[in-house]
Amino acid sequence: MTRTAFVNARLLDPASGYDQTGSLLVEDGRIVDLGPELFKDGIPEGVETVECGGKVLCPGLVDMRVFTGEPGAEHRETLALTSQAAAAGGVTTVIVMPNTDPVIDDVALVDFMERRARDTAIVNVHPMAALTKGLKGQEMTEIGLLKEAGAVAFTDGDKAVANAQVVRRAMSYAKLFDALLVQHAEEPSLASGVMHEGELSSRWGLTGIPAAAETIMIERDLRLMELTGGRLHIAQISCEASVEIIRAAKNRGLPVTCGVSAAHLQLNQLDIQGYRTFFKLSPPLRSEQDRQALVAGLADGTIDVIVSGHDPQDADVKRRPFEEANFGAIGLETLLAAGLALVHSGDVPLARLLDTMTHVPADLLDLGTGRLAAGLPADLILIDTDMPWQLKPEALKSVSKNTPFEDRRFQGRVLRTIVGGRMVFVHGEED
């Protein structure tokens, strides 16, 4: 029996609002007790002790939008490396997208991912399965069997399912298994561009993607939800209008949820200036007004989760003219720090920020984690919310260095990451 005591920690459980200085005991990978009274009479023999110095000890982060290179593009990133990046970023559960080669659209592939994760990953990894076979947007996958095998949700990843009839039927059928559908909301016929459509795209001679490409798809899918009674999660929204649409839909009582990437909360289209392909994201970075609306939507609860949208792309596909470069940026190691910037700027309280990265995504995906409570797996992180640091690409775990936060100064850093009671990352001890 291994026992670890985390003492003198600011215990923060966003789900319950609990926020007290105290200790937490982990036994055989699970939280067994916590509180200010614990160890009042001293720590028993044989318990490993971690002095937390009053720093925040909270549930580990759940990142529900991560693209990995395995299988098929291991040169971009293996599952092992994805998990190491996650650990360094305080992410204890990574949800990988089915956009691999081969596509995760079959029970055997879900099994493969689970096996690879068990053998090589140092954090929890769960796959979302494809919603349509081969991500082709035509025929739905075996939603029931895939869910039984361990798929936590169904999505075509960075591809929108454009055919309304396909979405309608999948939404309706998914109710059988209470399976969550995740849509990349972007009407493909309007989204042939490479950046936000507006004055800047015109000045730079780049084809634009209008905000309407996103809002049209969201509004269509909301109608399909009303038609079918199904539920839906919009993977990432990027503009003010989408925030308003989702807010109104929630007010109507529709079971819609949505996410936003940490990059979209911190950056806008101006960062592209000079044709910098590390800022080529899907959905695109939009205007400052849009960014501010996303921050407001996060603060008021319209936006449910923050994701990294982690998408490793190597130099071969990024060091190209903007139009030819691939979309995507890595983000696992900057997810928390980019989020904390909103806490330091006074836009979002710490507990609200942590909501969106812990129990809310965990509940959406029915993971049974994301809380500080006795009996739950000890997926924890210890955070210094103020520690200043600067992002150096060479210090990143990922082989692909496509971060939009190069040289960025952050405030707040993960000190320790614990997955199932195992210390998988300790700041300052990495190689």
Partner 1 sequence: MSSPETSPAPIFPHRHLIGIEGLSPQDITALLDLADTYVEQNRRIDKKGAVLRGRTQINLFFEASTRTQSSFELAGKRLGADVMNMSVGTSSVKKGETLIDTAVTLNAMHPDMIVVRHQNSGAVELLSQKVSCSVVNAGDGAHEHPTQALLDALTIRRRKGKLQGLRVAICGDILHSRVARSNILLLHTMGARVRVIGPPTLMPTGIERFGVEIFHDMKKGLEDCDIVMMLRLQLERMAGSYVPSQREYFRYYGLDYDKLAAAKPDALVMHPGPMNRGVEIDSAVADDIHRSLIREQVEMGVAVRMAVLDALARNLPNDPSIAETAK
What token pair was written down for 45?
């023999």
Q: With contacts defined by CB under 8 A, name the span among 61-69, 254-262, 315-323, 382-390 that binds partner 1.
A: 315-323
Binding mask 97-126 for partner 1 (x = CB under 8 A): ------------------------------
Q: Which of 139, 148, 199, 430 binds partner 1 (CB under 8 A)?
A: 199
Q: Which of 271, 323, 347, 363 binds partner 1 (CB under 8 A)?
A: 323
Closest to 21 in 3D by CA, of 34, 8, 32, 31: 8
Q: Is 205 in the site for partner 1 (CB under 8 A)?
A: yes
DSSP 403: -
Q: Is 239 in the site for partner 1 (CB under 8 A)?
A: no
Q: Is 75 in the site for partner 1 (CB under 8 A)?
A: no
Residue type at position 423: M
Rounded to whole angstroms, the Cα distance separating 163 from 160 reads 9
Q: With contacts defined by CB under 8 A, name the span among 183-191, 202-210, 403-411, 420-428 that binds partner 1.
A: 202-210
Q: Is 203 in the site for partner 1 (CB under 8 A)?
A: yes
Which residue number, 111 or 324, has a Cβ lying nearer to partner 1? 324
Which residue number, 112 or 322, has a Cβ lying nearer to partner 1? 322
Q: Tell me whether residue 373 is exposed, middle or buried, using C-beta atoms within 10 angstroms of its C-beta: 0 to 12, 13 to 18, 19 or more.
A: middle
Q: With contacts defined by CB under 8 A, name the span among 9-17, 33-41, 196-204, 393-401 that binds partner 1.
A: 196-204
Question: Any alpha helices (H) in 52-193, and if so which ranges?
Answer: 79-89, 107-120, 143-149, 164-174
C-alpha separations of 342 from 28, 295, 346, 354, 415 in Å: 36, 8, 6, 11, 20
Closest to 155 in 3D by CA, of 111, 109, 98: 98
Q: How far is the CB of 201 from partner 1 (least distance, A)?
A: 7
What token pair was written down for 229?
């009674």
Binding mask 344-383 for partner 1 (x = CB under 8 A): ----------------------------------------
Q: Is 289 in the site for partner 1 (CB under 8 A)?
A: no
Q: How far is the CB of 160 from partner 1 (least distance, A)?
A: 21
Closest to 88 in 3D by CA, of 412, 314, 397, 341: 397
Q: How far is the CB of 249 from partner 1 (least distance, A)?
A: 27
Q: Is 327 in the site for partner 1 (CB under 8 A)?
A: no
Q: Is 274 in the site for partner 1 (CB under 8 A)?
A: yes
Phi/psi of residue 367, nearest 5 degrees: -90, -20
Residues contacting residue 215 through CB under 8 Å, at least 6 positions apart: 239, 241, 242, 245
Q: Is 189 in the site for partner 1 (CB under 8 A)?
A: no
Q: By rule CB under 8 A, what count of residues binds partner 1?
A: 22
Q: With contacts defined by CB under 8 A, name the span among 180-188, 201-209, 339-347, 361-369 that binds partner 1.
A: 201-209
Q: With contacts defined by CB under 8 A, name the span among 9-17, 80-88, 127-135, 320-328 that binds partner 1.
A: 320-328
Rounded to whole angstroms, the Cα distance separating 388 from 80 reads 28
Query: What radius of gyration, in Å, describes the C-alpha atoms of the chain?
Result: 21
- Element spanning 422, H or E: strand 422-426
Q: How far is the CB of 426 from partner 1 (least distance, A)?
A: 39
What token pair was written down for 4?
């670890």
Residues in contact with partner 1 by the rule CB under 8 A = 197-208, 210, 274-275, 316, 319-324
